[in-house]
Chain A
Amino acid sequence: MMPKTQKRNTMISIILTLIAFVLFISISIFEELAEMSMMIMIIGVVLLASSWAVYFLTGKPAPKEEVENVITVIACRSCGQLEERSFAQGDYIFKDMGQCKKCSGSSFIKSIYSVSPKKE
């Protein structure tokens, strides 16, 4: 999703472009404005330049850091029972994890891996 500031800058940029466009069109439609055509054109160009500056020079925000989802899989050597939980500091693959909750056999960390977070 677009962050608030970027959204606001894009809106400002679009509005400035639209105003410039309306000014350019109006001098060719309304005869009364013919005398001020040069002035209006300069204003229009300035508005277009400002629109460009707002859009490009304010810059894009830094990419949002994704929260990593790391899973630790604990397996039992005797009954093959598998248990998944979030990674905890100190976990490593093939680490002995003590007794199995189900059969009291010895359990170990079978695997650790990261899964991509689901896109909304």
Chain B
Amino acid sequence: MLPITQGLFGGGDMTSVVLNIVWMLLFFAVIITFNQRLQLYSYQRNVEKAVTRLEELATKSKEDAINSIKTFAPEGIDLRGNVSGFLEFFTIEPVSLDPFGVLKRLEHLLDIRRSRSVEFVSQIAPKATKTERENIEVILEAATAVNYIYKVVRHFLLLGKKTKSLMIFVQLDMQLPMIMKQAEAYYAAQTTFTAGKPIGDGLGPLVASKLMLGSPQKRIAEDIIYSEIEIEKRKVIVLKAEGPGGVVGKPGEAVRELVEGLEGKVSRIIMIDAASKLEGENTGEVVEGVGAAIGDPGPEKYKIEEVAVKYKIPIDAIVCKMGLEEALTTIKKEIVEASDLIVERVKKIIAERTKEGDTVIVAGIGNTMGVGQ
């Protein structure tokens, strides 16, 4: 039997020694010369695979959006062209170099965006009811988000290919798991929106609905309704977005109007919302804290904080933990069960931290899709 080295490197004559040297030189030359190229290829391949999946999601989400609008569209309209055009719709953020009044400017832009969206939906789906129109709006929003993610990732892939920059691919590859998770969540959300099922983010409105059930409701602010109920001899004003369409409304505006209407005679504001959980936390975990529990871009949160500071009203926050996908897709059993727990928690807070005859505001924050009142 030959020793393994002799077997591998040939019979030991001059030719095989030369061949061995050539082999080693070739090996090192390849490793030294193409090392970065090989790495680049490996990262690029990962990104290419992700872009293929994102393209698939973007195409599917566009098709799904068109199919869900088709039944409400007027005859002869170029639905595909209209929807494709709307998916490219963008909003330019206000300049923040001079931060004075930035939230007012942001709110103005958000209002314009909303009105454009409402206008577009009534134009392409005139046969739809109010609830259906609101659901179409969120369907288009989800499709826009998926389309945007796809285009941004594709942009960096092409840029990386063009510049052959390893750094672009490394950075992109490292962020891909989070990006893909987000894109998959938005795509899954679109399917839920199409069916009009309640979503995890609807926890706040669900709690508010449970509290206000059977009481007369009044409209206040954009898409917001409120009811006056009595808990432990305290006047409780419960507010939420008007369901069952997919709207969030302007709860900040509503809280401000209510507090100003009562000349600040509100002893507590209790806010209920869904909160993103950290890895390791359980879905449906109910946690309490202080501050305005609302995940809007800024204007609504600011209004609540401003009016609370003006009249020195304490703000309690009760949140239910859930992941991004859970917040955007059909509400889970654990979250529905948590809503009952929160109703009890709200009653306990009112009984323990306010006096008889006090006025309390309870705001259920979130998208009220699939949650009536």
- Please choose the segment from A1-9, A11-19, A30-38 that sits at the chain B interface, where 4 or more of its residues have CB less than 8 A away: A30-38
Contact A113 B195 (CB under 8 A): no
Across-interface contacts of A28 in B (CB, < 8 A): 1-4, 6-8
A41 within 8 A of B: yes
Interface size class of A (residues with CB under 8 A): 20 to 34
A94 within 8 A of B: yes
Interface string of A18-56 (1 = CB under 8 A from B): 000000100111010111011001000000000000000
Once bound together, how far apart are the Cα atoms of A31 and B372, in whole Å?
A: 84
Contact A115 B333 (CB under 8 A): yes
Once bound together, how far apart are the Cα atoms of A34 and B13, in whole Å?
A: 12
Contact B2 A94 (CB under 8 A): no
Give the distance to chain B from A9, nearest Cβ to Cβ, in Å: 15
Contact B370 A68 (CB under 8 A): no
Interface string of A80-120 (1 = CB under 8 A from B): 00000001011111110000000000000001111110000
Interface size class of B (residues with CB under 8 A): 35 or more
Interface string of B42-65 (1 = CB under 8 A from A): 000100010001001000000000
Contact A112 B10 (CB under 8 A): no
Across-interface contacts of A113 in B (CB, < 8 A): 330-333, 335-336
Across-interface contacts of B19 in A (CB, < 8 A): 38
Contact A93 B209 (CB under 8 A): yes
Known: A87-B197, A93-B209. A112 touches B331 (CB 8 A): yes
Known: A31-B1, A94-B372, A94-B373. A89 touches B331 (CB 8 A): no
Across-interface contacts of B3 in A (CB, < 8 A): 28
Among B191-212, those with CB < 8 Å from A are: 195-198, 206, 209
Interface SS of chain B: helix, strand, loop or mixed? mixed
Closest-by-CB residue of B relative to A60 is B49
| Residue in A29, A93, A115 with the greatest tally of chain B CB atoms within 10 Å | A93
Contact A93 B206 (CB under 8 A): yes
Contact B195 A87 (CB under 8 A): yes
Once bound together, how far apart are the Cα atoms of A116 and B332, in whole Å?
A: 8
Q: Which residue from A29, A38, A92 sits with its C-beta under 8 Å from B371?
A: A92
B11 within 8 A of A: yes
Once bound together, how far apart are the Cα atoms of A70 and B199, in whole Å?
A: 11
Contact A92 B6 (CB under 8 A): no
Across-interface contacts of A59 in B (CB, < 8 A): 49
Contact A114 B370 (CB under 8 A): no
Give the distance to chain A from B107, nearest Cβ to Cβ, in Å: 29
Give the distance to chain A from B173, nearest Cβ to Cβ, in Å: 15
| Residue in A24, A31, A38, A87 with the greatest tally of chain B CB atoms within 10 Å | A38
Contact B372 A95 (CB under 8 A): yes
Across-interface contacts of B332 in A (CB, < 8 A): 113-116
Give the distance to chain A from B347, nearest Cβ to Cβ, in Å: 19
Once bound together, how far apart are the Cα atoms of A42 and B324, in whole Å?
A: 50
Contact B196 A89 (CB under 8 A): yes
Contact A27 B209 (CB under 8 A): no
Contact A38 B16 (CB under 8 A): yes
Give the distance to chain A from B124, nearest Cβ to Cβ, in Å: 20
Interface string of A57-70 (1 = CB under 8 A from B): 10100100000101
Q: List 29 A-B contacts (CB under 8 A).
A: A24-B8, A28-B2, A28-B3, A28-B8, A34-B2, A34-B6, A34-B7, A37-B8, A37-B9, A37-B10, A37-B11, A38-B16, A62-B56, A70-B197, A89-B196, A90-B196, A91-B370, A92-B371, A93-B198, A93-B243, A93-B244, A94-B372, A95-B372, A112-B331, A112-B370, A113-B330, A114-B330, A114-B333, A116-B332
**The 9 nearest A-B residue pairs measured at CB:** A28-B7, A92-B244, A114-B330, A94-B372, A28-B4, A27-B7, A113-B333, A113-B336, A92-B370
**What residues of chain A have their CB less than 8 Å away from a CB belonging to chain B?**
24, 27-29, 31, 33-35, 37-38, 41, 57, 59, 62, 68, 70, 87, 89-95, 111-116
- Contacts A28-B6, A33-B7 known; list 16 others, CB within 8 Å: A27-B7, A28-B4, A28-B8, A31-B1, A37-B8, A37-B10, A38-B19, A57-B45, A62-B53, A92-B372, A93-B198, A93-B370, A94-B371, A112-B330, A112-B336, A113-B330
